[in-house]
Amino acid sequence: DTAVSQTPKYLVTQMGNDKSIKCEQNLGHDTMYWYKQDSKKFLKIMFSYNNKELIINETVPNRFSPKSPDKAHLNLHINSLELGDSAVYFCASSLDKRSYNEQFFGPGTRLTVL
């Protein structure tokens, strides 16, 4: 059983398109995250939800909109895709929002914008 799953694994699309990435966790965790792995392989937090409530919203363009329909799911919708959005996006979850809980990562979604 996959603890944190993401779909799709790969996404190739044209500039200007709108796309979504989905994430699901079956660990019963309260908190979920989206990270972006940039070109320097650096993992940067984008958003965090705790029990469907947004608790972290880093400096991310408002073309990125997370949605959490329930605490087991956190989706990421990106409007008007740009070349610079090409990256690997990782979803993660933790027991609750306190930072001493380890985070469990999904397999990543490699987004390529042409």
Partner 1 sequence: ILNVEQSPQSLHVQEGDSTNFTCSFPSSNFYALHWYRWETAKSPEALFVMTLNGDEKKKGRISATLNTKEGYSYLYIKGSQPEDSATYLCAFGTASKLTFGTGTRLQVTL
Q: Which of 44, 54, 63, 114 is close enough to bind partner 1 by CB under 8 A?
A: 44
User: In the chain, where do the E strands start and end?
Assistant: 4-7, 10-13, 19-25, 31-37, 43-50, 53-57, 64-70, 73-78, 87-94, 104-105, 109-113
Binding flag, residue 62, partner 1 (CB under 8 A)? no
Amino acid at 60: V
Binding flag, residue 39, partner 1 (CB under 8 A)? no
Number of residues in contact with partner 1, rule: CB under 8 A?
23
Q: Which of 19, 51, 56, 73 is close enough to bind partner 1 by CB under 8 A?
A: 56
Q: Which of 23, 74, 97, 113 is close enough to bind partner 1 by CB under 8 A?
A: 97
Binding flag, residue 90, partner 1 (CB under 8 A)? yes
Nearest to 72 by CA among 8, 1, 5: 5
Distance CA 16, CA 35 (A): 22
Binding flag, residue 28, partner 1 (CB under 8 A)? no
Distance CA 11, CA 91 (A): 15
Place of tokens 């469990």: 104
Binding flag, residue 41, partner 1 (CB under 8 A)? yes
Binding flag, residue 101, partner 1 (CB under 8 A)? yes
Positions that interact with partner 1 (CB under 8 A): 4, 40-45, 48, 55-56, 90, 97-108
